[in-house]
């Protein structure tokens, strides 16, 4: 009896899903690419002839559809927390001791996993069908990228289980492996388009395409590492067994995942992954340890931003040798000249590095970097390229010192460019999409002379530029318009007053409440602001004394840029004028929350301990700041003391006295 079209379509969907799983998840294909294409084309033909046969979970629906206008915000069922980091063996051993002590055991069982360098996402399955995918975002709210994730063949549209949970959230990492990244960049070159700097940037750009057809053309893949929210199913107590269940359900799980017993075995896993890192075929920047028992995880709980039952043990920054081709200077927003080493291109941590800042003349002299030197380069924090040292025994006889100039040609223009870049930066006016190259081009073409001119750019003027299409120009103008609504601290930071950083901008706004009051303040009044000494006060006063700066601020207002006044800090606040240093991990408060609450009651939060520090708050794993506080006999509070201080600032002296007595007794 001949098979009906509906039955054939159902069987084709089942076959294609099976072969997707064999190829993309198990890396063990059973049929050739040509045979697979035949199955897919047959299904496409049936669905085209009989649209009623098309289902939302059909493999034909992975190709991408209509472009979206925006990414809709999504509230995660449970927060997607970040992980605390370990950078040394001691860091990990301290973590292990804390876990063992809290659980009351001698040996902790962990699941050890590779830490991929990709983008965290959440997949939501309703009765086994993929209904939503979202980026991590800030952990509470992400962006919906369902249409884009549906194009990734490693992500099953339908779970391979007979009785799926009513609702299941799966978390994982979307990334590009080395082969996929190389293939993508080859295609970019063939099309005459810009190549991607590293796999993570390529994956991020691919996943956040408004047109899912573009995402479908990118070789993205995914590894799953956790179960989030769940309804209608009791997951195994073992995290390791949960991952095996996910694998059986059709989701990719890292083949390097292992269950280890105790700290020694965990460290052996770290060493093994560090050795094999270069041969894995995809980028990892460390390993992750999770307490294996989910019941134990629940007992350990979480701090404000990270679980207490997991930690990421990061690999040390990768170092590479390269040659200094030249040294020149960059002009900063204040006109300061910064020496920069121009390097022979070298790949460090997956990124091609060609420049490294030498900070200032003193640093240049201290490291004694010369043109022609062989140097060791790394990316500080896996981000900023820096020269670690010169390989002195390989210094060529032709190596030459660089003499710092007092000025450079076109310095004023370069300074204007840097000031606009600073104004638009994330922590200032936050104009998304306004990159350095665009600012440089706008200034070069006389489209803008300063940041206020940004608000007078038009679509006509932008689309006339090379490589800036109408869609990109429209998005940029929307970002510029959105930046008109800002805050006084952001504005004060963004206008680029010398030596006024974010913290100083915040306390200035807090102290005076309005821009007008700051502009009218004398140097003596400015010096009353915590952490504003005579030099910084003079910089602030001199900035507002210039007519061109006052005219610039007026033009910002005329263009529609506005910022609400802030409530001036009350001078009679019990903690007014206090300088507080936070060190270590706080559990009941986030660092940002503690800072905001301290500032709200008049205190200034500093990053360094000195004799002028009023109190140091010590959390878990406090380091050198706690030691320095004891050396300088600066009062120390634990987290409970901080909470008491915030709850009853009027009792500040007695709270400090009680903790001082405890500290003396402990010593």
Mean pLDDT of 141-154: 89
The conformation of residue 329, written as its DSSP 8-state character, comes to: E
Is 567 among the domain residues? no
According to the model, what pLDDT value does residue 665 have? Answer: 43
More confident of the two residues 172 and 139: 172
Per the listing, tokens 């000494």 go with 533
Mean pLDDT of 90-109: 95
According to the model, what pLDDT value does residue 621 have? Answer: 64
Is 332 among the domain residues? yes
pLDDT at 666 over 60: no
Bridge partner list, 379: 385
CA angle 454, 460, 465 (to 5 degrees): 80
Residues 476 and 498 in one domain: no
Q: What's the CATH number where 600 sits?
A: 3.40.50.10190
Residues 470 and 607 in one domain: no
First to last CA, the chain: 89
Residues 153 and 238 in one domain: yes
Q: What's the CATH number where 180 sits?
A: 3.30.470.30
The conformation of residue 196, written as its DSSP 8-state character, comes to: P
Residues 256 and 306 in one domain: yes
Is 41 among the domain residues? yes
Distance of alpha carbon 278 from alpha carbon 45, whole angstroms: 44
Which of 19-28, 225-234, 356-365 is predicted with the least confidence, judged by mean pLDDT?
Answer: 19-28
Residues 422 and 536 in one domain: no
HSE, side-chain direction, 13 A CA sphere, residue 214: 14
Instruction: Please give the structure tokens belonging to residue 167.
Output: 């609702």
Which of 51-55, 66-70, 85-89, 547-551 is predicted with the least confidence, judged by mean pLDDT?
Answer: 66-70
Mean pLDDT of 33-48: 75
- Give 293's contacts (C-beta < 8 A, 6+ positions apart): 109, 237, 238, 239
Is 566 among the domain residues? no
Q: What's the CATH number where 452 sits?
A: 1.10.150.20
Question: Out of 44, 115, 290, 471, which one is annotated catalytic?
Answer: 115
> Percentage of residues in the chain with pLDDT exceeding 90?
43
DSSP notation for 22-90: IIIISS--SS-HHHHHHHHHHHHHHHHH-GGG--TT-GGGGS--SPPSSPPEEE-SS------EE-SHH
- Give 132's contacts (C-beta < 8 A, 6+ positions apart): 74, 123, 124, 144, 146
Is 70 among the domain residues? no
pLDDT at 548 over 90: yes
Full strand arrangement of the beta sheet holding 221-231:
129-135, 119-126, 167-175, 221-231
Distance of alpha carbon 428 from alpha carbon 557, whole angstroms: 16
Residues 132 and 174 in one domain: yes
Task: Check if 437 is active-site.
Answer: no
What is the band of 641 on the pLDDT scale with cuts at 50, 70, 90? confident
> Percentage of residues in the chain with pLDDT exceeding 70?
90
Write down which residue in 267, 299, 314 finishes a domain. Answer: 314
Q: Is 661 helix (H, G, I), strand (E, B) or coil?
A: helix
Write down which residue in 280, 314, 348 finishes a domain. Answer: 314
Residues 99 and 18 in one domain: no
Pairing of strands 636-637, 615-618: parallel
Mean pLDDT, all residues of the chain: 85
CA distances from 192 to 185, 186, 189, 210, 463 (A): 10, 10, 5, 21, 20
pTM of the model: 0.56
Distance of alpha carbon 662 from alpha carbon 522, whole angstroms: 44
Residues 477 and 494 in one domain: no
Is 403 among the domain residues? no
Q: Per residue in 172-217, pLDDT tens?
A: 999 999 899 889 888 888 877 777 777 888 888 888 887 888 888 8
Max CA distance (Å), the chain: 97
Q: What's the CATH number where 26 sits?
A: 1.10.287.610
Mean pLDDT of 384-411: 88
Q: Which domain holds residue 174?
A: 85-314
The conformation of residue 335, written as its DSSP 8-state character, comes to: S
Is 78 among the domain residues? no
Bridge partner list, 321: 376
Is 401 among the domain residues? no
Residues 188 and 303 in one domain: yes
Per the listing, tokens 């084309």 go with 41
Distance of alpha carbon 156 from alpha carbon 252, whole angstroms: 9
Residues 141 and 264 in one domain: yes
According to the model, what pLDDT value does residue 614 have? Answer: 85
Residues 270 and 126 in one domain: yes
What is the band of 431 on the pLDDT scale with cuts at 50, 70, 90? very high
Domains contained in the chain, number: 6
Write down which residue in 457, 482, 507 finishes a domain. Answer: 482
Residues 478 and 535 in one domain: no
Crossing angle for the helix pair 436-444 and 411-424, to the nearest 10 degrees? 130
What is the band of 661 on the pLDDT scale with cuts at 50, 70, 90? very low
């Amino acid at each position: 009896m001949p098979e009906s079209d509906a039955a054939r379509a159902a069987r084709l969907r089942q076959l294609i899903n099976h072969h997707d799983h064999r190829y993309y998840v198990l890396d063990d294909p059973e049929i050739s690419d040509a045979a697979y294409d035949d199955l897919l084309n047959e299904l496409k033909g049936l669905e085209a002839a009989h649209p009623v046969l098309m289902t939302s979970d059909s493999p034909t629906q992975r190709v991408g559809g209509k472009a979206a206008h925006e990414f809709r915000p999504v509230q995660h069922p449970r927060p997607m927390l970040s992980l605390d980091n370990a950078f040394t063996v001691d860091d990990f051993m301290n973590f292990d001791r804390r876990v063992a002590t809290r659980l009351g055991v001698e040996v902790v069982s962990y699941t050890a996993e590779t830490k991929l360098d990709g983008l965290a996402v959440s997949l939501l399955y309703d009765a086994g069908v993929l209904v939503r995918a979202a980026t991590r975002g800030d952990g509470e709210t992400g962006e919906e990228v369902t249409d884009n994730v549906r194009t990734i063949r490693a992500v099953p549209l339908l779970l391979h289980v007979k009785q799926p949970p009513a609702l299941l959230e799966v978390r994982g990492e979307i990334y590009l492996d080395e082969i996929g990244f190389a293939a993508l960049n080859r295609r970019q070159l063939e099309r005459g388009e810009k190549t991607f700097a590293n796999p993570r940037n390529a994956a991020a750009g691919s996943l956040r395409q408004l047109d899912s057809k573009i995402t479908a053309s990118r070789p993205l893949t995914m590894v799953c590492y956790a179960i989030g929210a769940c309804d209608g199913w009791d997951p195994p107590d073992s995290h390791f067994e949960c991952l095996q269940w996910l694998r059986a359900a059709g989701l990719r799980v890292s083949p390097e995942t292992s269950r280890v017993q105790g700290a020694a075995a965990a460290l052996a896993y770290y060493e093994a992954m560090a050795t094999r890192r270069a041969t894995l075929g995809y980028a990892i920047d460390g390993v992750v340890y999770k307490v294996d028992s989910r019941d134990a995880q629940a007992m350990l709980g979480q701090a404000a931003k990270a679980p207490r039952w997991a930690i990421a043990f990061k690999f040390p920054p990768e170092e590479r040798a390269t040659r200094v081709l030249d040294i020149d200077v960059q002009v900063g927003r204040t006109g300061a000249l910064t020496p920069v080493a121009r390097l022979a291109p070298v790949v460090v941590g997956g990124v091609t590095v060609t420049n490294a800042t030498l900070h200032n003349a003193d640093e240049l002299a201290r490291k004694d970097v010369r043109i022609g030197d062989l140097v060791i380069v790394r990316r500080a924090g896996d981000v900023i390229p820096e020269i670690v040292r010169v390989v002195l025994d390989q210094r060529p006889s032709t190596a030459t010192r660089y003499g710092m100039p007092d000025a450079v040609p076109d310095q004023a223009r370069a300074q204007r460019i840097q000031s606009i870049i600073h104004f638009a930066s994330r922590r200032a006016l936050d104009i998304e999409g306004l990159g350095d190259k665009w600012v440089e081009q706008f200034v070069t073409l006389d489209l803008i002379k300063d940041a206020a001119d940004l608000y007078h750019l038009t679509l006509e003027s932008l689309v006339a530029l090379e490589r800036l299409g109408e869609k990109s120009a429209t998005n940029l103008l929307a970002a510029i318009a959105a930046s008109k609504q800002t805050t006084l601290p952001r504005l004060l930071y963004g206008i680029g007053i010398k030596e006024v950083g974010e913290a100083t901008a915040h306390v200035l706004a807090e102290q005076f409440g309005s821009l007008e009051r700051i502009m009218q303040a004398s140097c003596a009044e400015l010096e009353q602001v915590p952490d504003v000494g005579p030099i910084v006060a003079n910089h602030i006063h001199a900035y507002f004394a210039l007519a061109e700066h006052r005219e610039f601020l007026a033009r910002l207002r005329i263009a529609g840029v506005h910022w609400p006044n802030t409530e001036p800090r009350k001078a009679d606040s019990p903690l007014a004028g206090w300088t507080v240093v936070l060190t270590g991990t706080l559990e009941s408060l986030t660092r940002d929350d503690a800072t905001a609450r301290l500032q709200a009651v008049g205190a200034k939060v500093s990053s360094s301990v000195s004799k002028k520090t009023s109190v140091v708050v010590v959390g878990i794993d406090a380091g050198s700041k706690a030691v320095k506080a004891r050396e300088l006999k600066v009062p120390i509070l634990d987290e409970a003391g901080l909470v008491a201080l915030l709850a009853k600032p009027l009792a500040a002296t007695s709270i400090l006295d009680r903790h001082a007595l405890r500290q003396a007794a402990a010593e």
